[in-house]
Amino acid sequence: MAERWFLALWPDAETQDALLAQAAPWLPAGVRPSHARDLHLTLIFLGALDPPRLACVEAAAGRVRCEHFRLEIDRIGHFGRSRVMWCAPSRSPAALLGLVSGLQCALAACGLEPETRPYRPHLTLARKASQPVSGALREPVDWVARELVLAHGVPGARPRYRLHRRWPLIGADPPAPV
């Protein structure tokens, strides 16, 4: 099976653990929970990449600039068709949407077409979730996105994803919410 590449935001271990702790009461029996170190927020799914296209993606991602930004992960939900349980921010910061847009533009030089569906930021908590779930987390998880990551999946491994390259987001941390 070909490696599946993607660009993402990767929370630190403390944030990953906090997200799973908040989600635990929502997880029904029979789901396949994500490994804590696999929790991430995909920005752009790339699919299989040959070496020249991988090099192009790395160069393109390295040209995109974005400042640190804060995400408040405060809701939980379910994609029925794919049977995925997720958590997400209620509001997408402008910096997040700008980062995705900037990456899409930069990746056009690599021959990668932007996704036609609207961007729906989320972190996958579990798969094989057949029961609909929707609500607010008991306590929102505050996360400052500090880096862009290029990662790929390794079939059968746990954790499943490997970080290939990191680019720091620039600037000072945004102020904490009041």
**Catalytic residue list contains 152:** no
Burial class (CB in 10 A: 0-12, 13-18, 19+), 147: middle
Q: Give me the catalytic one of 35, 68, 78, 122.
A: 122
**Catalytic residue list contains 35:** no
Distance set, CA 94 to CA 57, 62, 137, 160 (Å) = 23, 20, 22, 30
User: Phi/psi at 90 (nearest 5 deg)?
Assistant: -65, -35
Q: Give me the catalytic one of 35, 40, 68, 78.
A: 40
Active-site residues: which are they?
Answer: 40, 122
